[in-house]
Structure 1
Amino acid sequence: MSTQHRHVLGLSGGRDSAALAVYMRHHHPEIEVEYFFTDTGKELPEVYEFLGRLEGVLGKPVLRLNPDRDFDFWLKQYNTFLPSAQTRWCTRQLKLRPFEQWIKPMLDEGQHVTSYVAIRADEEYREGYTSKHENLVVTLPLKEVGVDKAGVMEILDSSGLGLPRYYEWRTRSGCTFCFFQQKIEWVRLRERHPESFEEAKRYEKSAVEHGSPFTWSHGESLIELEQPERIEQIKADHKKRVERQKAKMMANPLRPDDEPLDVDDLYGQAKGCIACHK
């Protein structure tokens, strides 16, 4: 690896960044890519399992960047106000800041750094990381070569990696209690990882008591959301959305009936954070 040019690729534990990593491994073996994952300490256990499988496919370890200050530290700095779509301090402090600290010595030494970001050809370049240094270049290989969502699925399937196991019940990577989750994903988090749901409730209760204008889920607290009648309502609404979406889809013999529909397919494209969700 040239000491003058480093190639880095951030993994979220999600589908698209994993496909990009596999793509770079197969199509550009001449490039020594350094794969990294910024661990907030609040990830789903399925994320760690998926990263382990990905390391096997890549044939090299994924560097874990652990923030020097954790979620609880930053929560105090923000007066116990929860992160939200309006104030995404979690992405800024727990994802982007550790990345910047990691590459700063490289840039200070005069090295050139290329960062590979997993934006697909069928996506607009949503809010992501833009370079603040002349020696740091952000590039979008999947978009450049025309790989769309179907192409990502093909890359994962052909490599034997497949989807992260959390796709069985939600289609967002990122933190356990990410505020971009839809109502049905909160319900399923409660079912799959009740201890994480209870932790999220504790954070929310403290935030509200300290005057936070935000709850994890828009318009209602998790205590309200977990009421039996509300859960049934959320599940019924989700079932209707799934039925409507499937009715719109043309029959495709290559798409199995049990393939999970993306949350974005059902609820509209959310402007999630690139560093977390890709």
Structure 2
Amino acid sequence: MDKVKHVLGVSGGKDSAALAVYMRDNYPELDIEYFFTDTGKELEEVYTYLNYLEGYLGKPIQRINPDRDFDFWLKQHNDYLPSPQARWCTIKMKLKPFQEWVQKFLDEGYEVHSYVAIRADEPYRTGYDSNDENLIVELPFRNDGIDKAGVMEILENSGLGLPEYYQWRTRSGCTFCFFQRKIEWVGLLEKHPEAFKEAMEYEKEALAHQSPFTWSERESLEELSRPERIAQIKADHEKRLEKMKKRIKVNPLRPDGEPELDMDDIYGVGKVCVMCHK
């Protein structure tokens, strides 16, 4: 096919950033269009990191915006918050804008190759499931044997490093992502209190409309933000951290001898949205 388009979505997370770097450095002959589906509710650190990534790539990352904002879709869903059981935010604000954007290329007769950052150590994950034979999902990391350690090496060698929010959270995407762990909600409260307050207001309105879900499982953000609850969450986190440190091997190349752990190491990856988290 003469008309071929290469696209790669970045989320503001480490894996998709590393894939963008990897493709630029190892497949320079491909003219890749980079895109980011922007809900308008992302962390500030995500936008900062995308700017750094653009500098490395030497080309812009196209922002794809949904045709309606979060408030609109919340009303359409009777003020029920999105949840792992009802991920309408991913569908309406991530998948749908991508589908509409890429459909224009398909309608013009292009064969579109979409590169997705699923690693070689993630056999349980799949990419976007396309019904169009001309939209081909490519998994370079899986095909080339790049695992989590390989991703970290790519980012370190590029000089980009990790997004700043990795100091307290491993979820990119919306500030109020329901996949956050309790300690990450505490991090949001401490790092971005206004964003936490906004999430709390959404939750209060949803509960007033009999929403069956809260942002965090089995407790409201109002309950989670109480000082005694924060202290308990932090204490539980420290116990998990110390337990994990005892279980893993120390890297002798680190001067302080401390193992490098992120939230996924401590709590497990769990369920995530590929379009948001990767």
Normalising by structure 1, we get a TM-score of 0.97
2:160 corresponds to: 161
2:78 corresponds to: 79
Aligned residues with identical type, % of pairs: 66
Residue 49 of structure 1 pairs with residue 44 of structure 2: no
Contact 2:250/2:257 (<8 A) preserved: no
SS of 2:269's equivalent? coil
**In the aligned structure 2, how far is the partner of 1:189 from the partner of 1:55?**
26
**In the aligned structure 1, how far is the partner of 2:258 from the partner of 2:105?**
46
**In the aligned structure 1, how far is the partner of 2:94 from the partner of 2:2?**
25
User: How far did 1:263 drift?
Assistant: 1.8
Contact 1:8/1:34 (<8 A) preserved: yes
Contact 2:10/2:16 (<8 A) preserved: yes
1:274 corresponds to: 274
User: How far did 1:147 drift?
Assistant: 0.4
User: How far did 1:262 drift?
Assistant: 2.3
Aligned residues: 277
* Match runs of 1:161-240 below 5 Å: 161-240=160-239
Structure 2 letter corresponding to 1:40: T
Contact 1:36/1:65 (<8 A) preserved: yes
**In the aligned structure 2, how far is the partner of 1:198 from the partner of 1:241?**
27
Contact 1:204/1:221 (<8 A) preserved: yes
After the TM superposition, list the runs of 4 or more consecutive aligned residues in structure 1 that deviate by more than 3 angstroms: 254-260
Contact 1:23/1:155 (<8 A) preserved: yes
Contact 1:80/1:206 (<8 A) preserved: yes
**In the aligned structure 2, how far is the partner of 1:36 from the partner of 1:125?**
25
Contact 1:128/1:273 (<8 A) preserved: no
User: How far did 1:267 drift?
Assistant: 1.6
Q: Which runs of 5+ in 2 are unaligned?
A: none
Normalising by structure 2, we get a TM-score of 0.97
Structure 2 letter corresponding to 1:269: V
> Which string of whole-angstrom CA distances, capped at 9 and with x for unpartnered residues, describes residues 86-111 of structure 1?
01111111001000110111111221
User: How far did 1:269 drift?
Assistant: 2.3
User: How far did 1:249 drift?
Assistant: 1.0
Q: Which runs of 5+ in 1 are unaligned?
A: none
Indicate how the Cα distance of structure 1 residues 263 and 276 shifts in structure 2: closer, same or farther if over 3 A, else same: same
> Which string of whole-angstrom CA distances, capped at 9 and with x for unpartnered residues, describes residues 16-60 of structure 1?
000000000000000000000000000000000000000011011
Bigger CA drift: 174-183 or 260-269? 260-269
CA RMSD of aligned residues (A): 1.4
Contact 1:127/1:271 (<8 A) preserved: no
